[in-house]
Amino acid sequence: MNHKVYLAVDLGAESGRVMAGVWNGRKLRLEEVHRFPNGAVALGETIRWDVLRLWAEIQNGLTLAGKKFGKQIVSVGCDTWGVDFVLLNKQDELLGQPYHYRDVRTRGALGRAFRRVPRAEIFAQTGLQFMELNSLYQLLAWQEHSPAILDTADTLLFMPDFFHWAMCGAKRAEFTIASTSQCVHPLKRDWALPLLKKFGLPTHFLPEMVPPGTPLGKFRQSLAERTGLAGVNVIAPPSHDTAAAVASVPTANTGRANWAYISSGTWSLMGVEVKKAVLSPRALELDMTNEGGIDGTYRLLKNIMGLWLVQQCKRSFDAAGEKYDYAQLAALAGKAKPFRSTLNLNDPRFVNPPDMSKAIQEFCRETKQPTPKTPGELIRCCYESLALKYRETLGSLEELAGESIEAVHIVGGGSQSESLNQLVADACQRPVLAGPVEATAMGNLLTQVRVDSELGSLAEMREVIRNSIVVKTYEPAVGNEQ
């Protein structure tokens, strides 16, 4: 049988890959075509993204996919992390190397912004959680140190939009990725122009916004020749990786908010799927966020510092000559004494410390808790801090959504962490359903399948997920709640 093939370019903070989705009309089988590293690049006193190298790797992946699948390939779409962007001038030249969201130039940006426009007014216009890394504060940083760059810019493209432009020449802002910027009105589903003008920010470079599932065009002729992929369509999927991941949650309860999700990776995004953005004073008080989803839905969620803690601890251990893989670290954590110390995950010292282990130890000493010393103790501290934060967030989500949450779906790479999954089930006293691991790629790919008229709704997409993977359930241990 000549199956159809769709390609997902999926870029995360640590790595990127080109994934093929082989569709047989009922199930989607994933195949990794090309994987490559990603990460911050130090440049002077700043940190940036090397988008040209990423584009070179994407082209390598597309070429490999062409050699393997040829004319079976129907379309390609890109998804990435949120908030970061590229600026192009009128000649389509890059204006500087794009900044990384952890760059220090936005430190203190919230206080400076609130002195110009009240916090409540920003929330009413955007519905977004307040984080210094949001695109709004990145633009304000440009305004402070390089206003001429903003004046010269002709087009702002978020990361997936930039790679779509590189593929086909379309300059569009896909809604789900734009919604992470704190520059979009959550009810009008378009740019929050009055707010941006109140900040004195130029808006001439903001492109037309389009919903997920929008066809953008065919490959540039030059790209088709380089990759051997003539006639391939470029589709804007849910281009924010979390939006794509949530689209692939294997729930049978689409349309209800009685289940929560955790998109677990470098960040943990915990939320519920709602039909309308929640802009109440209580949502503002709880610092919740409303980001765009597929089919007009919103993701009412909390951005939580996720497995970044564990990733950076591992980096500290590696630098000290203690080499462990993640499975070994999880095993060591399982042997460590439980609930000795917990972290405030909102503490800015954990955003990008030189040594995460030392930052955790410093926090514990300052808060007069036992100081974790061994790798197992440090990782256990990270896991337990995450599980308790999830429990706190679960209560906030139930309050705002007005429904009792019956189960928690964990999707993405973090769903492979069995010890963390069980801690979450115990802390939240809810069943945890883990999988799919490749949630982002599957949400991206199934949107393309749907555009190709193979599927009719978000519920049908999720039915395909249930047909295509095995979901593992973790039941809460009675009496283990903390």
Could you give the residue numbers annotated as active site? 241
Cβ atoms within 10 Å of 200's Cβ, excluding its own:
10
Q: Scanning the structure block, which residue is given the tokens 């689209």?
A: 247
- Looking at the DSSP assignment, which residues form a beta bridge with residue 156? 87
* Strand (E) or helix (H) holding 330: helix 326-335
- Choose among 397, 129, 111: nearest CA to 287: 129
**3 state SS for 131-152:** CCCCHHHHHHHHHHHCHHHHHH
CA–CA separation, 15 vs 341, rounded Å?
Answer: 31
C-alpha of 459 from chain center: 22
Residues 6+ apart with CB under 8 A from 465: 28, 248, 249, 250, 436, 442, 446
Query: Which tokens sit at 352?
Result: 């990008």
The CA distance from 369 to 385, in Å, is: 13
Backbone angles phi, psi at 118, to 5 degrees: -60, 145
The C-alpha atoms of residue 147 and residue 72 are separated, in whole angstroms, by 47
Q: State the Cα–Cα distance between residues 192 and 188, nearest whole angstrom.
A: 8
User: Dihedral of the CA atoms 212, 92, 156, 56 (nearest 10)?
Assistant: 60
Residues with Cβ within 8 Å of 15's Cβ and at least 6 positions away in sequence, in order, are: 35, 36, 37, 38
